[in-house]
Homo-oligomer: A and B are copies of this chain.
């Protein structure tokens, strides 16, 4: 416990704020620059500043809160932030509606496009209604027409379609469009409506989704939300543990995500002006843990050594199994994974970046709490993949003034003769640093000699001062910040970044070494994902996160996993290629590599200074 006050942790932003005794959660939000809705200004009169108390104690709800919440909500920890005064360190969830500005979500990529080759086709079906003379079953009537008019023989239908068929035909007055996937009627829609698909990138932190026209490949709408499981564990291992240690924990976490994905679906079809029944195909990618939690698969064997997935094969599930209200006979495709820590999202990233077909020696990275890296050697049929436990520092977690990439986060920074420059997301006054900002600051601190090669803040350098927990560097004085408080980089922050970049650097080194090639032979580095897209390559090279290669060797490709999911959604050939990628990728377990720990320790140092 912090003796100087109580700490309030805001999820899903990952922002922490310390407040004195007697301050409300709304005070904490304001102090840290979080835009919590509050029309009445904190008088308990508007009911807008809703938060959910996840852990820690606060005062009992007062009469304003009893007015605004149901008994059920109160039992579940709902509070008005202006009426809730922490009595100890607390963790609160910010419901979507309470946040004025959200977290930055990236669903697009700058990679090549692919011609669509969808699994689902639409056929017009116009029928005579049944009579006593012609009492064929409704399905028979549809199948006979498909045969007679379109020459489609041997079509079938599953129970999900049959359950909705009779009212659908009658409501549409026997004039419909039948969607067919590989010999199966999967949906009955209004005549002449187009088939669309849903692609989802299910991240540990964020869920991004796109609605795609299956015939043109065009993205009709996209949207994203934070992963609501964050409140039950920031990293995958905590969440897996939660799932198997709590009664019904697995189902609970699964249903949280099901709800979010379904909400995204409804948002997207609303944006695009479609009916949910038109969504004829779906693809969800995610890391292996997220997919296990989505599907309610057993998690204990994945959370403990040797970290074994229940299955790494592609899975086609019925939408009802994840509560997804799309075409009744649609299937939700989960592409294959490579191992317990290299999931379908990495397969999708390899696919969309064409890493498996690269004609140069190429590294492909997706940086996150776990960083997956694959190495392609053009003369070998196999990719080799590793997973580095890089931790959440690059997502702003475990960093004093760190936060996720949301409004007010410093995302870029540099030091020149005039001092520090920074830019924030949405150009809001700075309230913290997201991953790319932290990286920039560290690189410039190192270049400026404020940090030593082994990562120590130099006490006698300008800006360095004694903080509550050792030395810290003052980046933004309180008078310029959105919270009125100083934004600093602590010695502990530097060490967290060293651990993260050391894990990735050591992983890359081992991956190259195990392939028996020299590091200088690497010709191309594909950097995917949100952090990877926004980071400054030169800075990443200079602190040793990336190997020392010309800037032109790096390709920052955006959310390649989401693009891969989209390809797998609308292209049968891409779906097949994903299976080949998973099959032809060898997983290398770093912890079994000789002397890995020593390599990791060495990689935590910063490289020789470029100017040295």
Contact A135 B311 (CB under 8 A): no
- Report the separation of the CA atoms of residues A295 and B163 in the bound assembly, to the nearest whole angstrom: 8
- The reply to whether the CB of A167 lies closer than 8 angstroms to some CB of chain B is yes
- Whether A156 contacts B313 by the Cβ 8 Å rule is yes
Contact with B along A310-327 (1 / 0, CB 8 A): 111101010001000000
Closest to A169 in B: B301
> Does A340 count as interface, using CB distance less than 8 angstroms?
yes
Select which of B158, B295, B309 is within 8 A of A159 by beta carbon: B295
Check: A63 CB closer than 8 A to any chain B CB: no
Nearest Cβ on chain B to A154's Cβ, whole angstroms: 11
Which residues 263-316 in A have Cβ within 8 Å of B in the complex?
Answer: 295-298, 300-301, 305-313, 315
Cα A587 to Cα B340 in complex, Å, equals 56
Q: Is A225 an interface residue (CB 8 A)?
A: no
Give the contacting residue for A317; candidates B138, B143, B159, B301; CB below 8 A.
Answer: B159
Enumerate chain B residues within 8 angstroms of A134, measured Cβ to Cβ.
306
A591 partner residues in chain B, CB cutoff 8 A:
132
A313 to B131 alpha-carbon distance, docked (Å) = 19
Which among B131, B310, B312 is the interface contact of A165 at CB below 8 angstroms?
B310
Residues of B near A220 (CB, < 8 A) are none
Q: How far is the CA of A185 from the CA of B9 in the complex (A)?
A: 46
B-contact 0/1 string along A115-155, CB 8 Å cutoff = 00000000000000011111111111001000000000000
Judge whether A162 is part of the interface by a CB distance below 8 angstroms.
yes
Inter-subunit contact B295/A170 (CB<8 Å): no
Residue A589 CB within 8 A of the other chain:
yes
By a CB distance below 8 angstroms, the chain B residues around A163 are 295-298, 310
Tell whether A311 pairs with B130 under 8 Å between CB atoms, given A163-B296, A166-B298, A297-B163.
no
Report B-chain residues with C-beta under 8 Å of the C-beta of A305: 132
Given A310-B138, A311-B139, A311-B140: A301 in contact with B340 (beta carbons within 8 A): no
Q: Which of A162-181 contact B (CB under 8 A)?
A: 162-167, 170
Q: Is B297's CB under 8 angstroms from A162's CB?
A: yes
Tell whether A592 is near chain B: CB-to-CB under 8 Å.
yes
Instruction: Report A180 CB to chain B, min CB distance, Å.
Output: 15
Please tell me if A157 contacts chain B, counting CB pairs below 8 Å: yes
Return the contact of A139 from the options B132, B139, B300, B313 (Cβ within 8 A): B313
Instruction: Please determine whether A131 and B315 come into contact, CB atoms closer than 8 angstroms.
Output: no
**A12 located at the interface, meaning its Cβ lies under 8 Å from any Cβ of chain B in the complex:** no
Report yes or no: B137 in contact with A310, Cβ–Cβ below 8 A. Answer: yes
Q: Does A328 contact B (CB under 8 A)?
A: no
- Restricting to A56-115, which residues have a CB under 8 Å from any CB of B? none
Q: Which of B138, B317, B340 contacts A309 (CB under 8 A)?
A: B138
C-alpha spacing A592/B587, complex, angstroms: 70
Residues of B within 8 A of A315 (CB): 158-159, 162
Instruction: Identify A307's interface contact among B135, B164, B340, CB under 8 A.
Output: B135
Is A392 an interface position by the 8 A CB rule?
no
Nearest B-chain residue to A288, judged by Cβ: B137
| B133, A309: Cβ atoms closer than 8 Å | no
A339 at the interface (CB under 8 A from B): yes
Evaluate contact between A308 and B138: CB separation under 8 angstroms.
yes
Q: A138-B301, A298-B166, A301-B138 are in contact. Are A592 and B132 (CB under 8 A)?
A: yes
Give the distance in Å from the alpha carbon of A140 to the alpha carbon of B592 in the complex: 21
Complex CA gap A159/B297 in Å reads: 9
Which partner residue on chain B sits nearest A338 by CB separation? B137
How many angstroms from the CA of A170 to the CA of B309 in the assembled complex?
13
Contact A301 B135 (CB under 8 A): no
Contact of A135 (CB < 8 Å), options: B139, B306, B313: B306
Residues in B with CB closer than 8 Å to A310 are 137-139, 162-163, 165-166
Residues of B near A137 (CB, < 8 A) are 308-313, 337, 339-340
Residue of B nearest to A592 (CB): B132
Contacts known (A139-B312, A311-B140, A313-B140); A306 close to B132, Cβ less than 8 A? yes
A133 to chain B, nearest CB (A): 6
What is the CA–CA distance of A158 and B334 in the complex, to the nearest angstrom? Answer: 12
Near B by CB (< 8 A), chain A positions 538-558 give: none
B135 close to A587 (CB less than 8 A)? yes
Interface residues of A in 321-361 (CB under 8 A from B): 321, 337, 339-340
Q: Which residue of B lies closest to A168 (CB)?
A: B298
A26 to chain B, nearest CB (A): 43
Q: Give Cα distance in the complex from A312 to B166, angstroms.
A: 12
Contact A135 B317 (CB under 8 A): no
Q: How far is the CA of A516 from the CA of B86 in the complex (A)?
A: 90
Contact B136 A308 (CB under 8 A): yes
What chain B residues lie within 8 Å of A300 (beta carbons)? 166-167
A166 and B299 alpha carbons, distance in the complex (Å): 9
**Which A residues are within 8 Å of any B CB, using their own CB?**
130-140, 143, 156-159, 162-167, 170, 295-298, 300-301, 305-313, 315, 317, 321, 337, 339-340, 587, 589, 591-592
**Extra 15 A-B pairs, beta carbons < 8 Å, given A132-B592, A163-B297:** A132-B305, A132-B589, A133-B589, A135-B308, A135-B589, A137-B308, A137-B309, A137-B310, A138-B311, A139-B313, A157-B311, A159-B295, A162-B295, A165-B298, A165-B310
24 contacts between A and B (CB under 8 A): A130-B306, A131-B306, A132-B305, A132-B307, A135-B307, A135-B339, A136-B308, A137-B308, A137-B310, A137-B337, A138-B309, A138-B310, A138-B311, A140-B312, A156-B313, A159-B315, A159-B317, A159-B321, A162-B310, A163-B297, A165-B311, A166-B297, A167-B300, A170-B301
Question: Would you list the 5 A-B pairs with minimal beta carbon distance, nearest first?
Answer: A139-B311, A137-B312, A137-B309, A166-B298, A132-B306
